Amino acid sequence: MTYIDPNISRRWHRLVLGAAVLGISALLTGTSAGAASVDKAPFGKTQDGKAVDLYTLTNDKGASVKFIAYGGIITAINVPDRWGKLDNIVLGFKELADYESKNPYFGALIGRYGNRIGGAKFTLDGTQYQLAANNGPNSLHGGSKGFDKAVWAVEPLTNVSGAAARLSYTSKDGEEGYPGTLTVQVVYTLTNDNELRIDYEATTDKPTVVNLTSHSYFNLAGDGAGGIGDHILTINADRYTPVDATLIPTGELASVTGTPFDFRQGMPIGARIRSNDPQMVYGRGYDHNYVLNRSDSGLSLAARVYEPRSGRIMEISTTEPGVQFYSGNFLDSTLVGPTGQQYRQTDGFCLETQHFPDSPNKSSFPTTVLKPGETLKSTTIHKFSTDAS
Protein backbone atom coordinates (compact mmCIF):
# COMPACT_ATOMS: atom_id res chain seq x y z
CA MET A 1 0.00 0.00 0.00
CA THR A 2 2.92 2.37 0.41
CA TYR A 3 4.02 4.61 -2.47
CA ILE A 4 7.81 4.70 -2.86
CA ASP A 5 9.57 7.58 -4.63
CA PRO A 6 11.49 5.96 -7.50
CA ASN A 7 14.31 8.50 -7.42
CA ILE A 8 16.01 7.40 -4.23
CA SER A 9 19.20 9.41 -4.64
CA ARG A 10 17.34 12.68 -5.05
CA ARG A 11 15.22 11.89 -2.02
CA TRP A 12 18.27 11.31 0.19
CA HIS A 13 19.74 14.57 -1.07
CA ARG A 14 16.58 16.37 -0.01
CA LEU A 15 16.64 14.69 3.40
CA VAL A 16 20.19 15.81 4.13
CA LEU A 17 19.66 19.33 2.84
CA GLY A 18 16.30 19.59 4.60
CA ALA A 19 17.86 18.68 7.93
CA ALA A 20 20.51 21.34 7.44
CA VAL A 21 18.06 24.15 6.75
CA LEU A 22 15.28 23.10 9.12
CA GLY A 23 16.34 25.41 11.93
CA ILE A 24 16.53 28.45 9.63
CA SER A 25 13.19 27.61 8.07
CA ALA A 26 11.55 27.34 11.48
CA LEU A 27 12.76 30.82 12.37
CA LEU A 28 11.43 32.26 9.12
CA THR A 29 8.02 30.57 9.30
CA GLY A 30 7.31 30.69 13.02
CA THR A 31 7.44 26.94 13.62
CA SER A 32 9.56 27.15 16.75
CA ALA A 33 8.54 24.89 19.60
CA GLY A 34 6.36 26.16 22.42
CA ALA A 35 3.51 25.13 24.70
CA ALA A 36 0.31 23.94 23.04
CA SER A 37 -2.48 26.51 23.18
CA VAL A 38 -6.09 27.33 22.25
CA ASP A 39 -6.77 30.92 21.18
CA LYS A 40 -10.06 32.66 20.36
CA ALA A 41 -10.83 35.71 18.22
CA PRO A 42 -14.02 37.24 16.73
CA PHE A 43 -14.90 36.11 13.19
CA GLY A 44 -18.03 38.18 12.59
CA LYS A 45 -21.78 37.67 12.91
CA THR A 46 -24.18 35.47 10.99
CA GLN A 47 -26.95 36.98 8.89
CA ASP A 48 -29.32 36.51 11.84
CA GLY A 49 -26.94 38.27 14.23
CA LYS A 50 -25.22 35.39 16.03
CA ALA A 51 -21.61 36.08 17.01
CA VAL A 52 -19.09 33.59 15.63
CA ASP A 53 -15.60 33.10 17.01
CA LEU A 54 -12.47 31.71 15.37
CA TYR A 55 -10.46 29.20 17.42
CA THR A 56 -6.82 28.31 16.83
CA LEU A 57 -5.34 25.06 18.14
CA THR A 58 -1.53 25.23 18.16
CA ASN A 59 0.68 22.32 19.19
CA ASP A 60 4.14 22.46 20.72
CA LYS A 61 5.77 22.18 17.27
CA GLY A 62 4.00 25.27 15.89
CA ALA A 63 1.51 23.46 13.65
CA SER A 64 -2.05 24.76 13.94
CA VAL A 65 -5.68 24.07 13.13
CA LYS A 66 -8.18 26.93 12.85
CA PHE A 67 -11.94 26.46 13.04
CA ILE A 68 -15.03 28.59 13.53
CA ALA A 69 -18.10 27.95 15.68
CA TYR A 70 -20.30 28.27 12.58
CA GLY A 71 -20.59 24.75 11.21
CA GLY A 72 -17.55 23.69 13.22
CA ILE A 73 -15.79 24.63 9.98
CA ILE A 74 -12.06 23.97 9.80
CA THR A 75 -10.76 27.05 8.00
CA ALA A 76 -7.05 26.19 8.00
CA ILE A 77 -4.63 23.37 8.79
CA ASN A 78 -1.05 24.64 8.88
CA VAL A 79 1.55 21.87 8.79
CA PRO A 80 5.19 21.83 7.61
CA ASP A 81 6.55 20.66 4.28
CA ARG A 82 9.82 18.70 3.94
CA TRP A 83 11.78 21.92 4.57
CA GLY A 84 9.81 22.84 7.68
CA LYS A 85 7.80 25.59 5.98
CA LEU A 86 4.21 25.90 7.21
CA ASP A 87 1.38 26.13 4.68
CA ASN A 88 -2.38 25.88 4.95
CA ILE A 89 -3.45 22.64 3.25
CA VAL A 90 -7.26 23.03 3.19
CA LEU A 91 -9.53 25.14 1.00
CA GLY A 92 -11.73 27.84 2.51
CA PHE A 93 -12.86 31.45 2.56
CA LYS A 94 -11.74 34.67 4.22
CA GLU A 95 -15.17 35.92 5.33
CA LEU A 96 -18.01 34.38 7.35
CA ALA A 97 -20.51 35.65 4.76
CA ASP A 98 -18.94 33.41 2.13
CA TYR A 99 -19.22 30.37 4.38
CA GLU A 100 -22.90 31.19 4.88
CA SER A 101 -23.83 31.82 1.24
CA LYS A 102 -21.35 30.00 -1.04
CA ASN A 103 -19.85 27.11 0.87
CA PRO A 104 -19.63 23.68 -0.84
CA TYR A 105 -19.14 22.27 2.68
CA PHE A 106 -15.51 23.46 2.95
CA GLY A 107 -14.22 22.11 6.29
CA ALA A 108 -17.66 21.62 7.82
CA LEU A 109 -19.05 19.17 10.35
CA ILE A 110 -21.76 17.20 8.55
CA GLY A 111 -25.00 15.82 10.04
CA ARG A 112 -27.44 14.50 10.81
CA TYR A 113 -26.65 12.37 7.83
CA GLY A 114 -23.41 12.79 5.90
CA ASN A 115 -23.67 12.02 2.18
CA ARG A 116 -26.89 11.20 0.30
CA ILE A 117 -30.22 9.62 1.18
CA GLY A 118 -32.06 8.48 -1.93
CA GLY A 119 -35.41 10.06 -2.73
CA ALA A 120 -34.98 12.31 0.33
CA LYS A 121 -36.88 9.83 2.49
CA PHE A 122 -36.45 6.73 4.63
CA THR A 123 -38.60 4.42 6.75
CA LEU A 124 -37.76 3.63 10.36
CA ASP A 125 -39.90 1.39 12.61
CA GLY A 126 -42.76 1.56 10.11
CA THR A 127 -42.83 5.35 9.82
CA GLN A 128 -41.67 7.16 6.68
CA TYR A 129 -39.71 10.37 7.17
CA GLN A 130 -39.54 13.00 4.43
CA LEU A 131 -36.34 15.06 4.17
CA ALA A 132 -35.35 18.13 2.18
CA ALA A 133 -34.45 17.25 -1.42
CA ASN A 134 -31.43 19.57 -1.76
CA ASN A 135 -29.44 17.50 -4.27
CA GLY A 136 -31.71 16.67 -7.18
CA PRO A 137 -34.23 14.13 -5.90
CA ASN A 138 -32.01 13.26 -2.93
CA SER A 139 -31.12 14.68 0.46
CA LEU A 140 -27.45 15.62 0.89
CA HIS A 141 -25.41 16.25 4.05
CA GLY A 142 -28.33 16.75 6.42
CA GLY A 143 -30.64 18.79 4.22
CA SER A 144 -31.22 22.48 3.64
CA LYS A 145 -29.88 23.47 7.05
CA GLY A 146 -27.62 20.71 8.27
CA PHE A 147 -25.06 20.80 11.06
CA ASP A 148 -22.71 22.70 8.72
CA LYS A 149 -24.98 25.76 9.13
CA ALA A 150 -25.44 25.60 12.91
CA VAL A 151 -23.50 27.71 15.41
CA TRP A 152 -21.88 25.22 17.77
CA ALA A 153 -21.00 25.85 21.42
CA VAL A 154 -17.23 25.60 21.87
CA GLU A 155 -15.25 24.77 25.02
CA PRO A 156 -11.43 24.77 25.05
CA LEU A 157 -10.04 21.67 26.76
CA THR A 158 -6.92 20.89 28.73
CA ASN A 159 -5.10 18.08 26.97
CA VAL A 160 -1.60 16.86 27.74
CA SER A 161 -1.18 15.47 24.21
CA GLY A 162 -1.76 18.82 22.46
CA ALA A 163 -4.47 21.47 22.02
CA ALA A 164 -8.16 20.56 22.03
CA ALA A 165 -11.70 21.94 22.00
CA ARG A 166 -15.15 20.40 22.43
CA LEU A 167 -17.98 21.47 20.09
CA SER A 168 -21.58 20.83 21.14
CA TYR A 169 -24.91 21.04 19.32
CA THR A 170 -28.43 19.83 20.04
CA SER A 171 -30.57 18.99 17.01
CA LYS A 172 -34.27 19.18 17.90
CA ASP A 173 -36.82 16.48 17.18
CA GLY A 174 -38.07 17.01 13.62
CA GLU A 175 -35.18 19.22 12.51
CA GLU A 176 -34.78 18.77 8.75
CA GLY A 177 -37.34 15.95 9.00
CA TYR A 178 -35.28 13.66 11.25
CA PRO A 179 -36.88 12.07 14.35
CA GLY A 180 -35.56 12.48 17.86
CA THR A 181 -33.65 15.15 19.75
CA LEU A 182 -30.01 14.41 18.99
CA THR A 183 -27.27 15.66 21.32
CA VAL A 184 -23.89 15.82 19.60
CA GLN A 185 -20.37 16.48 20.86
CA VAL A 186 -17.28 16.64 18.67
CA VAL A 187 -13.74 17.06 20.03
CA TYR A 188 -10.98 18.46 17.83
CA THR A 189 -7.49 17.63 19.12
CA LEU A 190 -4.26 18.73 17.46
CA THR A 191 -1.66 16.50 19.06
CA ASN A 192 2.00 17.29 19.53
CA ASP A 193 2.67 14.53 16.98
CA ASN A 194 0.94 16.57 14.24
CA GLU A 195 -2.24 14.52 14.31
CA LEU A 196 -5.70 16.03 13.97
CA ARG A 197 -7.97 13.75 15.96
CA ILE A 198 -11.76 14.12 15.58
CA ASP A 199 -13.91 12.31 18.16
CA TYR A 200 -17.68 12.19 17.63
CA GLU A 201 -20.33 11.29 20.21
CA ALA A 202 -24.13 11.41 19.95
CA THR A 203 -27.22 10.34 21.88
CA THR A 204 -30.93 10.49 21.05
CA ASP A 205 -34.30 10.35 22.81
CA LYS A 206 -36.03 8.56 19.88
CA PRO A 207 -34.80 6.10 17.27
CA THR A 208 -33.14 8.01 14.45
CA VAL A 209 -30.44 7.69 11.80
CA VAL A 210 -27.04 9.37 12.16
CA ASN A 211 -23.94 9.61 10.00
CA LEU A 212 -21.40 12.21 11.14
CA THR A 213 -18.30 13.30 9.25
CA SER A 214 -15.95 16.18 8.48
CA HIS A 215 -15.73 17.66 4.99
CA SER A 216 -12.35 19.34 4.52
CA TYR A 217 -11.04 19.82 0.99
CA PHE A 218 -7.30 19.07 1.03
CA ASN A 219 -4.43 20.17 -1.18
CA LEU A 220 -1.20 18.99 0.42
CA ALA A 221 0.88 21.27 -1.82
CA GLY A 222 -0.81 24.21 -0.09
CA ASP A 223 -4.08 26.07 -0.57
CA GLY A 224 -4.00 27.78 -3.96
CA ALA A 225 -1.06 25.70 -5.20
CA GLY A 226 -2.99 24.29 -8.17
CA GLY A 227 -4.50 20.92 -8.95
CA ILE A 228 -4.29 17.73 -6.94
CA GLY A 229 -3.75 15.38 -9.89
CA ASP A 230 -0.18 14.47 -8.88
CA HIS A 231 -1.09 13.55 -5.28
CA ILE A 232 -0.41 9.84 -4.76
CA LEU A 233 -3.49 8.30 -3.15
CA THR A 234 -3.74 4.90 -1.46
CA ILE A 235 -7.12 3.66 -0.22
CA ASN A 236 -7.31 0.53 1.94
CA ALA A 237 -10.33 -0.95 0.19
CA ASP A 238 -10.92 -3.91 -2.12
CA ARG A 239 -14.51 -2.83 -2.81
CA TYR A 240 -16.58 0.28 -3.42
CA THR A 241 -20.29 1.09 -3.75
CA PRO A 242 -21.28 1.84 -7.37
CA VAL A 243 -23.93 4.53 -7.84
CA ASP A 244 -26.78 5.39 -10.17
CA ALA A 245 -26.96 8.57 -12.24
CA THR A 246 -28.04 10.59 -9.15
CA LEU A 247 -25.06 9.24 -7.14
CA ILE A 248 -27.13 6.94 -4.92
CA PRO A 249 -25.53 3.51 -4.28
CA THR A 250 -27.11 0.63 -6.16
CA GLY A 251 -26.56 -1.67 -3.19
CA GLU A 252 -23.74 -3.60 -4.83
CA LEU A 253 -20.34 -3.94 -3.17
CA ALA A 254 -18.17 -4.09 -6.29
CA SER A 255 -14.52 -5.07 -6.61
CA VAL A 256 -12.12 -2.26 -7.49
CA THR A 257 -9.97 -4.68 -9.50
CA GLY A 258 -9.53 -3.55 -13.09
CA THR A 259 -11.40 -0.27 -12.54
CA PRO A 260 -10.38 3.41 -12.12
CA PHE A 261 -11.30 2.94 -8.44
CA ASP A 262 -8.34 0.73 -7.57
CA PHE A 263 -6.05 2.77 -5.30
CA ARG A 264 -4.74 -0.15 -3.26
CA GLN A 265 -1.14 0.27 -4.45
CA GLY A 266 -1.02 4.05 -4.66
CA MET A 267 -1.87 6.00 -7.80
CA PRO A 268 -1.84 9.68 -8.83
CA ILE A 269 -5.35 11.06 -8.40
CA GLY A 270 -5.31 12.43 -11.93
CA ALA A 271 -4.10 9.25 -13.65
CA ARG A 272 -7.55 7.88 -14.50
CA ILE A 273 -9.87 10.75 -13.65
CA ARG A 274 -10.83 11.28 -17.32
CA SER A 275 -11.91 7.66 -17.70
CA ASN A 276 -15.08 6.97 -19.71
CA ASP A 277 -16.19 4.45 -17.11
CA PRO A 278 -19.91 5.21 -16.54
CA GLN A 279 -19.29 5.56 -12.81
CA MET A 280 -16.77 8.32 -13.47
CA VAL A 281 -19.19 10.03 -15.85
CA TYR A 282 -21.96 10.07 -13.23
CA GLY A 283 -19.78 11.91 -10.74
CA ARG A 284 -17.72 13.96 -13.22
CA GLY A 285 -14.78 12.23 -11.54
CA TYR A 286 -14.49 10.50 -8.17
CA ASP A 287 -17.43 10.86 -5.78
CA HIS A 288 -17.73 7.35 -4.40
CA ASN A 289 -17.81 5.46 -1.13
CA TYR A 290 -15.11 2.86 -0.48
CA VAL A 291 -15.72 -0.21 1.69
CA LEU A 292 -12.70 -0.22 3.96
CA ASN A 293 -10.77 -3.42 4.66
CA ARG A 294 -11.27 -3.95 8.38
CA SER A 295 -10.65 -6.78 10.84
CA ASP A 296 -12.39 -5.21 13.86
CA SER A 297 -14.22 -2.07 14.99
CA GLY A 298 -11.14 -0.18 16.19
CA LEU A 299 -9.04 2.43 14.47
CA SER A 300 -7.82 1.19 11.11
CA LEU A 301 -5.92 2.78 8.22
CA ALA A 302 -8.33 4.14 5.62
CA ALA A 303 -6.13 6.15 3.25
CA ARG A 304 -2.70 7.64 2.67
CA VAL A 305 -1.90 10.64 0.48
CA TYR A 306 1.58 11.76 -0.60
CA GLU A 307 2.27 15.08 -2.35
CA PRO A 308 5.68 14.88 -4.12
CA ARG A 309 6.42 18.62 -4.45
CA SER A 310 6.09 19.46 -0.76
CA GLY A 311 6.85 15.98 0.58
CA ARG A 312 3.75 16.14 2.77
CA ILE A 313 2.01 12.92 3.77
CA MET A 314 -1.46 12.53 5.27
CA GLU A 315 -2.55 9.19 6.75
CA ILE A 316 -6.18 8.76 7.78
CA SER A 317 -7.26 6.17 10.33
CA THR A 318 -10.87 5.71 11.39
CA THR A 319 -13.37 3.54 13.25
CA GLU A 320 -15.86 4.03 10.39
CA PRO A 321 -16.62 1.32 7.79
CA GLY A 322 -16.28 3.60 4.75
CA VAL A 323 -14.65 6.64 3.24
CA GLN A 324 -16.01 8.89 0.50
CA PHE A 325 -13.35 9.97 -1.99
CA TYR A 326 -14.40 13.17 -3.76
CA SER A 327 -12.02 14.82 -6.24
CA GLY A 328 -13.50 18.34 -6.16
CA ASN A 329 -15.37 17.81 -9.42
CA PHE A 330 -17.87 20.63 -8.99
CA LEU A 331 -15.40 23.42 -8.21
CA ASP A 332 -15.80 25.75 -11.20
CA SER A 333 -13.61 28.86 -10.62
CA THR A 334 -16.52 30.85 -9.17
CA LEU A 335 -15.30 30.47 -5.56
CA VAL A 336 -12.37 32.55 -4.34
CA GLY A 337 -10.08 31.56 -1.47
CA PRO A 338 -8.64 33.73 1.31
CA THR A 339 -5.64 34.91 -0.73
CA GLY A 340 -7.65 35.62 -3.88
CA GLN A 341 -7.11 32.29 -5.63
CA GLN A 342 -9.91 30.85 -7.77
CA TYR A 343 -10.87 27.29 -6.94
CA ARG A 344 -11.00 25.19 -10.10
CA GLN A 345 -12.13 21.65 -10.71
CA THR A 346 -9.86 19.19 -8.84
CA ASP A 347 -8.06 21.90 -6.85
CA GLY A 348 -8.91 19.97 -3.70
CA PHE A 349 -9.99 16.49 -2.62
CA CYS A 350 -12.06 15.10 0.23
CA LEU A 351 -11.75 11.85 2.15
CA GLU A 352 -14.88 11.76 4.33
CA THR A 353 -14.88 8.87 6.80
CA GLN A 354 -18.43 7.62 7.16
CA HIS A 355 -21.08 4.95 7.08
CA PHE A 356 -22.28 4.26 3.57
CA PRO A 357 -24.55 6.64 1.61
CA ASP A 358 -28.27 5.75 1.65
CA SER A 359 -27.80 3.21 4.43
CA PRO A 360 -31.29 3.94 5.86
CA ASN A 361 -32.69 2.53 2.60
CA LYS A 362 -30.18 -0.31 2.18
CA SER A 363 -30.71 -3.04 4.77
CA SER A 364 -27.55 -4.85 3.62
CA PHE A 365 -25.35 -1.86 4.52
CA PRO A 366 -24.00 -1.34 8.08
CA THR A 367 -26.78 0.24 10.10
CA THR A 368 -26.87 3.95 10.93
CA VAL A 369 -29.79 3.61 13.37
CA LEU A 370 -29.23 5.10 16.83
CA LYS A 371 -31.66 4.27 19.64
CA PRO A 372 -32.32 5.77 23.07
CA GLY A 373 -29.87 4.45 25.64
CA GLU A 374 -27.15 3.97 23.02
CA THR A 375 -24.19 6.28 22.42
CA LEU A 376 -22.68 6.72 19.00
CA LYS A 377 -18.91 6.99 19.23
CA SER A 378 -16.60 7.44 16.27
CA THR A 379 -13.01 8.60 15.80
CA THR A 380 -10.99 9.71 12.79
CA ILE A 381 -7.31 10.70 12.90
CA HIS A 382 -5.41 12.65 10.24
CA LYS A 383 -1.69 12.16 10.77
CA PHE A 384 0.58 14.67 8.99
CA SER A 385 4.23 14.03 8.25
CA THR A 386 6.71 14.44 5.40
CA ASP A 387 9.13 12.30 3.43
CA ALA A 388 11.87 14.03 5.42
CA SER A 389 10.47 12.69 8.70
Question: Which residues are identified as catalytic?
Answer: 215, 352
Residue closest to 107 by CA, chosen among 35, 49, 43: 43
Alpha-carbon separation of residue 380 from 95, 112, 177, 287, 341 (angstroms): 28, 17, 27, 20, 29
- Rounded to whole angstroms, the Cα distance separating 190 from 163 reads 5
CB atoms within 10 A of CB 378: 20
- Rounded to whole angstroms, the Cα distance separating 82 from 384 reads 11
Alpha-carbon separation of residue 111 from 217, 230, 330, 387 (angstroms): 17, 31, 21, 35
Q: What is the DSSP letter of 9?
A: H
Handedness of CA 249, 255, 261, 264 (dihedral sign): positive
Residue closest to 205 by CA, chosen among 232, 175, 227: 175
Q: Report yes or no: 247 and 284 within 8 Å, Cβ to Cβ.
A: no
